[in-house]
Amino acid sequence: MTPRKFRNAVAGASSSTEKGGSPLSTPDGIAPFINAKADLPMKQDFAVNSWFAIGHFQAEGHLLDYLYHVMIFPSPDGKPILQSVVSITDETTGWFQGTDIILPFKENGASKFGIDFAVPNGEMRGTLDDLTVKASLPDGAVNLHLQATSSTIYNGGTGVFPLLTMTIHQYSVPRLASKGTITIKGKTYSVDGVSWFDRQWQNPPAAGAPPLKWSWMDLNLDNGDAVSLWSAMDPDTSKQRAWATVLHKDGTQTITAIDPGLGASDEWVSEKSGNRYPTHWTVRIPSLRAVLDVKPSPREQEIISHIPAMTKYEGASAVTGTYNGKPVKGHCYVELVGFGSDPLT
Fold of 4-10+27-204+212-337: AttH-like fold (2.40.370)
* Average pLDDT value for residue range 242-257: 93
Q: Which residue has the higher pLDDT, 340 or 108?
A: 340
Structure confidence at residue 112 (pLDDT): 77
d(CA 166, CA 214): 13
Of 8-17, 28-37, 63-72, which one has max mean pLDDT?
63-72
Does 18 score more than 90 pLDDT? no
Structure confidence at residue 283 (pLDDT): 97
Count Cβ atoms below 10 Å from residue 192 Cβ, excluding itself: 12
27-36, 227-236, 276-285, range with the lowest pLDDT: 27-36
Structure confidence at residue 8 (pLDDT): 40
Taking only the tens place, the pLDDT of each residue in 138-179 is: 999 999 999 999 999 999 999 999 999 999 999 999 999 999
d(CA 273, CA 302): 9
Mean pLDDT of the chain: 91
Does 11 score more than 60 pLDDT? no
**Is 208 in contact with 310 (CB distance < 8 Å)?**
no
**Is 125 in contact with 118 (CB distance < 8 Å)?**
yes
Tell me the pTM: 0.93
Q: What percent of the chain has pLDDT over 70?
A: 92
Structure confidence at residue 321 (pLDDT): 98
d(CA 136, CA 120): 8
d(CA 228, CA 177): 19
Taking only the tens place, the pLDDT of each residue in 253-284 is: 999 999 988 999 999 999 999 999 999 999 99
d(CA 211, CA 75): 16
Does 49 score more than 80 pLDDT? yes
Say which DSSP state 8 is in: B
The residue among 134, 109, 139 whose CA lies nearest residue 121 is 134
Structure confidence at residue 236 (pLDDT): 79
**Is 255 in contact with 245 (CB distance < 8 Å)?**
yes
Report residue 250 CA to chain centroid gap. 22
Name the region of 168 (left: φ>0; alpha: ψ -120 to 50; beta: rest): beta
Query: In degrees rounded to 5, what are phi and psi of residue 309?
Result: -65, -15
Structure confidence at residue 9 (pLDDT): 30
Whole-Å CA distances, 44 to 50, 72, 111, 144: 12, 11, 11, 28
